[in-house]
Amino acid sequence: MNSICFSTSLFGAALLTSLISAPARAAEGDPVAVRVWPGGTVTIESHWGLSVAIKGETKNTEDLSDEKASTIPNADATVTVGESGRYLLSRPANKEEVTWQQVSREETKTDSVSVTPNDIQVSHSGGDAVHVQLDGIDLVVAGPGCTTETLASFQHIDAVIGSDLQRFVVEGSPMPVTVRNWISASSGSPDSVKVADQDHNTVAISSDSTESASEPVVVWWNVSTKPWQMPEEMNKLFAAMEKSCAESQAVFAELTTAQMNFEPANGTHTPRWNVEHMMGRQLLFFSQMYHEADASIPVMDLNPAQMPPDYEFANADWDGAEEARQMQRVSDFSRRFAYLLDGYSVDDKVPGSRWPTLKALLKQMDRHYSEHTSNTEKKFALPGWPKN
């Protein structure tokens, strides 16, 4: 999708509070991927499939070469630290178009702006930082002018992202604000925090985790600006699973809501059950492995009831195209956080997984999509199949 980039300047330093009066809300359990790139760019990707890129005000021209810049993926919207304005990134269910809407101060006062659970809210904070709210999470991308006072102006922060974050820490003093995660592409960390050094650029952030449920654990992330590279054999199996998923999506995307909800007279499952089952199994199996490695990723179980009489639609109003997007969201989730498989081969049993090997899981997911898609296609010839 093409990147949308705005560089307006309508509001000033008063934008130190949240974007819209409605709080950030979450589709339960959705983890967010924060990625740090060359040149100070940060991308934030939601489980719903929306993404925002925040460009930093960097003076290090070595990090801005065409070769390095080309590694940064396109985002649905792009802003730069130092601008001003409030924005809403949205794509409601059953809608293909992603909208990037500038929000005025008057609209926020009258609550005339509708914020749905999967929207991303973006606001500039006096030119010193960018505040991003999504999935119940508050993220602050700190620019060079961001100070302790800037951070203190936010009611809640799940993660601060930027370079040279050590400036917020005075030796022997407590952290300036309660922040669960500090994500920096520069080395070094304060005392009395949990340090996570990693040679790739992605950190998973969620609104809740087992560690944050009682007493928050402060984690200082020293990250690279390079993406994690999946081993060749693992990537081959992932690609086969993704191809099977994409082929299944192509079938379901053509179905109407009525066709998705078709209940065969022979007592077999609706097409919607088949979609939910395929998506739900993959999401559960992969989130179990990822949760074992990082508690910020919850175990996500959206599996429907197995027997037709017990089954209830999760989203009865979604058309086939949206259910196909849900399948793609799980496919993206599985690859997005696959860095948590680092150190394992496809012949290993991964902690948190019931499968004997990672290869066995990937091959079964490949077969699973084709099997249930074939079962659904047989229903098209059954008596009573809706024409539209």
Q: Could you give the CA distance from residue 217 to residue 274 in angstroms, rounded to a whole number?
A: 40
CB 183 within 8 A of CB 160: yes
Q: What Rg value do the Cα atoms of the chain yield, rounded?
A: 22
pLDDT at 177: 72
pLDDT at 13: 30
- Give the three-state DSSP class for 32: strand
pLDDT at 7: 34
Q: What percent of the chain has pLDDT over 70?
A: 82
Closest-CA residue to 137 (of 1, 218, 228, 26)? 26
Do the strands 32-36 and 42-45 form a parallel or antiparallel pair, or are they unpaired? antiparallel
**Average pLDDT, stretch 306-314?**
94
Identify the band that residue 172 occupies on the pLDDT scale cut at 50, 70 and 90.
low
CB 61 within 8 A of CB 151: no
Q: Could you give the CA distance from residue 339 to residue 238 in angstroms, rounded to a whole number?
A: 13
Q: Poorest-confidence range of 8-22, 85-99, 297-311? A: 8-22
Classify residue 81 as left (phi > 0), alpha (psi -120 to 50) or beta.
beta
Q: Could you give the CA distance from residue 123 to residue 317 in angstroms, rounded to a whole number?
A: 32
Say whether pLDDT at 366 is over 80: yes
Of the chain, the end-to-end C-alpha distance in Å amounts to 29
CB 301 within 8 A of CB 288: no
Say whether pLDDT at 291 is over 50: yes
Q: Could you give the CA distance from residue 188 to residue 196 in angstroms, rounded to a whole number?
A: 11
Say whether pLDDT at 138 is over 60: yes
Provide the residue count of the chain: 388
pLDDT at 17: 35
More confident residue, 250 or 126: 250
pLDDT at 185: 86
Q: Domain ranges in the chain?
A: 32-223, 232-378
| Class of domain 232-378 as given by CATH | mainly alpha
Do the strands 129-134 and 137-142 form a parallel or antiparallel pair, or are they unpaired? antiparallel
- Give the three-state DSSP class for 333: helix
Say whether pLDDT at 26 is over 50: no
pLDDT at 335: 98
Structure tokens at 94: 């059953």
Say whether pLDDT at 3 is over 70: no
pLDDT at 8: 31
